[in-house]
Amino acid sequence: MAQTLLAFLLVNSSAKGPNLVFRWPPNPETTSRLSRPLPHEDRLELDNPWRAANHNDSPQITVEASSEATATAAEDYQWKSPSVIRDRSRSFPRSGSLPTSAVNALPEEHFFDDDELAEDPTDEYHRIFDYSTQFLAGMLCPKTSLCHQKFDLVIDNLLFIGHPVCIEDGGHWRFKREKSSSGSRGRSSVNHESMDDIKSDTSIRAYSPTGKNESSWLHMFHFVLVLDLPDSSSSASGNMSKYFDTIYKQIAFTITAVLFQEQVLSNFVELECDALGSLEAECIAKGEPFSAFMSQALQISSIASATKALFDAVKSSTMAYITLNDIPLELQLPPFLDHLLHGEDEHELDFVDHQEDEDEARLWGCDLSFGWRLPSLAPWKSLLLLEGDQELDPYINLRGPHVRPDEREHAEGLIRFLETASVTLSFSDMANLLDWDLETQIYPTVRWLVHHRRAKVVDTVHLGLKTIFTIPPKFDAPLSTLSAEFKRDFPQPEIPPLPSLLASISEASSKQSDNHFFAVVVRSKELIPLYHEVVIWLLKRDMLFTLHLRIRIVATAELKARVRRAHERKLERSRGQRHQDRVGSSLRPRDQDPAFYEVNARRPGSALFPLSPRRVHRFSRRMPSAESESSRASETHFIHGGEDDEEAITDESDDENIAWGSPENTLCPSLISDPGTASPLERKWLAAMSEGKDEHIARRFEQINQYFDGKSTDDEILHRAEISRKQLREVLHHYDEYVGTVFFGRCTDLKQHEVTNLPAPSVMP
């Protein structure tokens, strides 16, 4: 819910002045504020970082008085709006608070002076937030130069946000595209352009009501959001600028754009204001309470009923389905918008992916990149439809006769997608089945369904339910309520009660083997279809989270010691061989030097050829530079003809880039943090891990170990490496002494875990 939202107001202005036409809820109330901290005997309100850090240094204050005296003292600490504003707001004439038609309909006895105003039984009609409605309306109807742009006003602890629009010169409501001037604000220019783009200028004709004067009596209207302004000194103030800007863009601007369009096309807003004003005057004349007026207003006014529905949806954090002048609208605020005003809850950090990656934000788009906390939009993810085809199809009405021929192809494609989508199919699988492009067809469809809350992205569920699940720390509804719903939807005797089912899932997640859903709960292939429905039921209510397999490579102490010993032996052989070569070269003529034979064997017409066939092939491939290389080699050391010696020289040349004396070359076990960008020494360790392994296993390990970084999930590895789950299990089995496998939630990163925190290798499902 939007915690700060207090009310929606519709304000207009005419030749008779400003007027508050409608508001919802009827009697909104602000939260109480304190002018200074309240003293408490048993506890201290830590609403400020400084106060929380220094409260022990402050002497404790106690209030030793009776309960009545304590209540009176507490009232003294509450902040109240200045009485000067209240008295001044009461001095406005009552007649200006109604539109022209309503004022003319009022009898004279309904106009009161200031002395009678305090006893006025109709005061509820004309007061809101302890202010006169005309006072607020006057503040919320700005000058013409401030219209068609974002409007925000702070009065005491209230924030008013909107986008006022006004009539053009000459008394016509029409779209007018204005170029931004050098002195105008950038935001205002962009918003004005966006609103004018609803209809092209060529298709809009200024509305001039028949039977009336050319000039419309409605000069301006303003749909206003009233929000409670958080205390900026509080530790829970959060990112208020981004918070309020999101509410403005999603609600205030969108509603104003539609109302402005309909006012231009059909004088819709003026007619609605006239009807509401006349109804209010009639109810006041009859002496009816304000609640009676509000009840009737919801029946006769499209704006009134839409305002109520929108307010209820925003406060309940659901999608608002409203209609304005027969135009259906779907409006909502990001479900996690309120978390901008508070710190993150600890339990949410382990189960929610935060979109910090620019590529991920690009895939979701600007509408879904803020306040939604969506998982990654990746080819190995899946989609869970939140409504069945029978419920979804009537609203979208894709098969209806109203679908235009140019839209029918897109409608048929969406129907095919809805019929294909399943939690057991990844996005990549859906793209292959539909023959769709992943980036340009699958992802846009997914974004549309998620944005309209008809689907959500989940992890792919194994067809045989061999997926490891866990449960969240808390549920959105009481367990008793969920248990009753579960029993109603799954009365079959094979299905255990919901608490027992959740206990089994929770206990299984800590096991090292046989911890997937089928082994723990299902246990019978005949029950797989039924339990598929159970899993979907739980996923829709966010009662299940998939545990992912993350893999890290551990360079053990034994492995490091083996690599170091091999390097030291190689150095010793190289040094001894060089010493022998130097002694031998001083005792024999140059024409007996093996290097002399190698060099001259490649010269045209040379009869010397003491090389093996393999070395002949090697030097023939390097003909252009072989002679110069051999000359340089003969100056440093002699080359011998044995194949073992040749491999030792190659290995030694590879070792030149390894920093054997670096701090990482210790005999303590360590993680290879990123095998894909491993250092030369880490590559040496990775190569040593494959010694003695089958060739195809070693080759596959070399292919996929780049994903053993603790961040790539098993599903991602299978997709990127294009291998099967069985092949991945095979690699993990042969390299079990060097890999650590851990099951974690969606966003947990193993990068900061030490080797000692890695458990024994788990068995993949």
Structure-model confidence comparison of residues 48 and 626, the more confident one: 48
Average pLDDT over residues 6-14: 94
- pLDDT recorded at residue 172: 84
Residues ≥6 apart with Cβ < 8 Å to 228:
3, 4, 5, 6, 30, 31, 157, 158, 159
Share of the chain above pLDDT 70, in %: 62
- Whether 303 and 294 have beta carbons less than 8 Å apart is answered as no
Q: From 564, 562, 552, 561, select the one nearest 735 (Cα to Cα).
A: 552
- Exposure on the CB side of residue 509, measured as CA atoms within 13 A: 19
Which residue(s) pair with 458 in the sheet? 382
DSSP 378: -
Contact in structure between 112 and 94 (CB atoms under 8 Å): yes
pLDDT at 45: 47
Instruction: Answer for the pair 664, 679: CB distance below 8 angstroms, yes or no.
Output: yes
CA distance 205 to 185: 28
> What is the mean predicted confidence (pLDDT) over 534-547?
94
pLDDT at 11: 95
* pLDDT tens-digit readout, 290-308: 999 999 999 999 999 999 9
- pLDDT-based confidence at 75, cuts 50/70/90? low
Residue 410, pLDDT above cutoff 50: yes
What are the residue boundaries of the structural domains of the chain, listed by start? Answer: 5-32+81-337, 344-459, 469-546, 570-655, 670-757
pLDDT over 70 (residue 356): no
Is pLDDT of 193 > 70? no
pLDDT of residue 200: 37
Q: Where in 133-229 does DSSP place strands (E)? A: 151-155, 158-162, 165-166, 218-228
Averaged over 666-689, what is the pLDDT? 90
Given a cut of 70, whether residue 762 has pLDDT beyond it is no
Supply the pLDDT for residue 1. 54
The mean predicted confidence, pLDDT, of the chain is 74
Tens digits of residue pLDDT in 115-133: 444 456 567 888 998 889 9
pTM of the model: 0.70
Cα gap 539→375, rounded to integer Å: 14
Please state, in angstroms and rounded to a whole number, the distance separating the CA atoms of residues 242 and 746: 26
Average pLDDT estimate for 93-101:
42
pLDDT on residue 619: 43
Reported confidence tier of residue 371, pLDDT bands at 50, 70, 90: confident
* Residues across the chain: 765
Answer yes or no: is pLDDT of 74 > 70.
Answer: no
What gap in Å lies between CA 706 and CA 723, rounded to an integer? 14
Query: What are the tokens at 73?
Result: 């003292």
- Find the range with the poorest average confidence among 94-108, 230-244, 586-600, 652-666: 94-108
Which of 183-187, 229-233, 600-604 has the largest mean confidence? 229-233
CB 732 within 8 A of CB 761: yes
Is residue 69 over pLDDT 60? no
Give the helix/strand (H/E) hosting 429: helix 427-434
* CA 480 from centre of chain: 30
- The conformation of residue 579, written as its DSSP 8-state character, comes to H
What's the pLDDT at 230? 74
- CA dihedral (571, 561, 668, 759) in degrees, to 10, reads 140
The beta strand positions in 371-420, using DSSP E, are 381-385
pLDDT at 589: 54
**What's the pLDDT score for residue 187?**
35
Give the orientation angle of helix 643-655 with respect to helix 557-587, to 10 degrees.
Answer: 120
Q: What is the mean pLDDT of residues 751-760?
A: 36
What's residue 234's pLDDT?
57
Which pLDDT band, with edges at 50, 70 and 90, does 667 fall under? Answer: confident
Helix, strand, or coil here: 153? strand
Mean pLDDT, range 203-211, rounded to an integer: 38
What phi-psi label fits residue 609: left (phi over 0), alpha (psi between -120 and 50 degrees) or beta?
A: beta
Contact 574, 640 (CB under 8 A): no
How far apart CA 738 and CA 554 sit, in angstroms, is 5
Q: How many CA atoms lie within 13 A of 118 on its CB side?
A: 4
Query: 538 or 63: whose pLDDT is higher?
Result: 538
Percent of the chain with pLDDT over 90: 42
Q: So what's the pLDDT on residue 748?
A: 35
Assign 291 to helix, strand or coil. helix
With beta carbons less than 8 A apart as the criterion, state whether 335 and 372 touch. yes
Taking a C-beta distance cutoff of 8 angstroms, is the pair 20, 137 a contact?
Answer: yes
Residue 66: what pLDDT? Answer: 45
Average pLDDT over residues 60-77: 50
